[in-house]
Amino acid sequence: MQKSTGGVRDQRLLASGSRDRTVKIWDPATGRCVATLEGHTFWIRSVAWSHDATHLASGSFDKTVKIWDLATGRCVATLEGHTWEVISVAWSHNSTKLASGSRDRTVKIWDPATGWCVATLEGHTDWVTSVAWSHDATQLASGSFDKTVKIWDLTTGQCIATLKGHTKPVSSVVLSHDATQLASGSYDKTVKIWDLTTSRCVATLKGYSSCVRSVAWSHTMTQLASGFDDMTVKIWDRVTDQCIATLEGHTDAVNSVAWSHDATQLASGSYDKTVKIWDLTTTRCVATLEGHASEVESVAWQPIAIQLAL
């Protein structure tokens, strides 16, 4: 791990993964990179914090998932088993399991403590691009290039619903925090909202001019953010399903968006090699984080503020 100079901090940090094969940890308040995690041998496609904020997972085109101990900045496990690139990683809310989606068309469930794969979920017919847990860790959602979203029962390992409606690959899926709804973004230029009790689409957010790369719920569940190929981020009001803000400033596609826990800020990662921090009260960019040598594929906020000696 490469460190910058500085003392112990107590605030929510931000992680970004890039095609430059590194994960960077940022202090959004100062715009400073406080650590660079190195070890992958190909593009990093996805990063995710454990919900106790002590570990970070990174999924890579080198077919592996790495788990990093944020107290030391060291890789403590490399999870191997996928036969193609890892596209998405996500922790369960109790931080005891990790899911990964891959170009090999499978979802794998891992025990991070042992590094063992405890389940392989098969059913998609093309790349798995995105995975997301229910809060109680009993269900998992996966989006795929096969244009569908699947809901998996993790007690049985069976697919219990297949959500169909997108006309092009699904790029991103995210569950509402009460797990009653799911949002999916697609290359068909729409975001769909699904009622998981009925498995029906209850809203389609459209009017976009380009592919949807990423979707994210605010923790209040009242707003949804989406990143686009057209270099913009849009904020949607979930009560009215109207676009209430368009954030402009990136100079290439926005591949990842993530809300701060208090929903006052949004982070966006772009193919322009930068991460931007947006103040959602003013809809202005308040920081541009520069340091990656190639495209930024994924951004993730630290779930809780803990002291990290970085």
Which CATH number covers residue 154?
2.130.10.10
Quote the pTM value.
0.93
- The answer to whether the Cα torsion of 11, 306, 254, 2 is positive or negative is positive
User: Which residues of the chain fall below pLDDT 70?
Assistant: 1-11, 305-310
113: how many CB neighbours lie within 10 A of its CB?
11
pLDDT tens digit sequence for 261-272: 889 999 999 999
Residue written as tokens 């369960």? Answer: 92
Residue 45, C-beta contacts closer than 8 angstroms, at least 6 positions apart: 17, 59, 60, 61, 85, 86, 87, 88, 297, 298
- The whole-angstrom separation of Cα 54 and Cα 73 is 10
pLDDT at 305: 63
Q: Which domain holds residue 299?
A: 2-308
Report CA dihedral (230, 235, 239, 240) to the nearest 10 degrees.
Answer: -50
pLDDT at 207: 73
pLDDT tens digit sequence for 28-51: 999 999 999 999 999 999 999 999
Is residue 176 helix, strand or coil? Answer: coil
8: how many CB neighbours lie within 10 A of its CB?
8
Count how many domains the chain has. 1
DSSP assignment of 293-306 equals SS-EEEEEE-SS--
pLDDT at 179: 85
Instruction: Compute CA 163 distance to the chain's CA centroid, rounded to the nearest angstrom.
Output: 20
Residue 193 exposure: Cα atoms within 13 Å on the Cβ side: 22
Q: Where are the alpha helices (DSSP H) in the chain?
A: none
pLDDT tens digit sequence for 60-112: 999 999 999 998 999 999 999 999 999 999 999 999 999 999 999 999 999 99
Identity of the amino acid at 10: D
pLDDT at 2: 46
SS3 content of the chain, % helix, strand, coil (to 5): 0, 55, 45
pLDDT at 1: 47
- The whole-angstrom separation of Cα 244 and Cα 237 is 6
- The whole-angstrom separation of Cα 291 and Cα 40 is 17
- The whole-angstrom separation of Cα 217 and Cα 200 is 19
Cβ burial, residue 41 (10 Å; 0-12/13-18/19+): exposed
Are the CB atoms for 232 and 243 separated by under 8 Å? no
- The whole-angstrom separation of Cα 238 and Cα 221 is 8
